[in-house]
Amino acid sequence: MSKAITSFLLVALLSAMLMALSLAVARYGYPFGMVGVRRLESIVSAQNFLPLAGLYFFSAALMMILPLKAASFVLLNAADALMWTVLALLAALVGCVAARWAFGQTSAPRSLLDWRLLLPLAVVGCHIGLDVLRRNVLLRSLAFAGFFLLTLACLFWNFRI
């Protein structure tokens, strides 16, 4: 847990510094600054979390039904990597929003109120609670159904309200 928090804070700080550098260069009239801003914003939108969350929930569903050795293979080679990717993208999003807010864009924190940002929080929360879900047979069965439904929702539901 502390490694996740430290990684989140470091990636948020680094992305905030890069966004601040890009915004400062753009403020002085250089067109390269907006190129950096657009590149950072292209990777940190809420819609980028949908396929990653779908992949993570599918791997979590597999871990609920696979035997222990196969489940540990999926955990180490898929679920961990997906969770760290989601965590890094979420931290980059927070860092970019913080840099925009620091440069006077007071409406920037409103982008953190997008309900699709619940998906990366759900991925991190599920990853933390995977051990508890795997111990109990009833919880494992319910978690399999829930993870499979979340996978289908992330891949096939429109998410436009």
Average of per-residue pLDDT values in the chain: 89
Q: Which two tokens mark 138?
A: 């009833």
Q: Which two tokens mark 82?
A: 């997906």
Average pLDDT of the residues in 33-40: 86
> Please, how many CA atoms are within 13 Å of residue 78, restricted to the half-sphere of its CB?
17
Distance CA 136, CA 81 (A): 25
Cβ atoms of 78 and 59 within 8 Å: the answer is yes
% of the chain at pLDDT higher than 90: 50
Q: Give per-residue pLDDT as tens, 96-128.
A: 999 989 988 888 888 888 888 888 999 999 998
State the pTM of this model.
0.86
Q: Give per-residue pLDDT as tens, 135-144.
A: 888 888 899 9
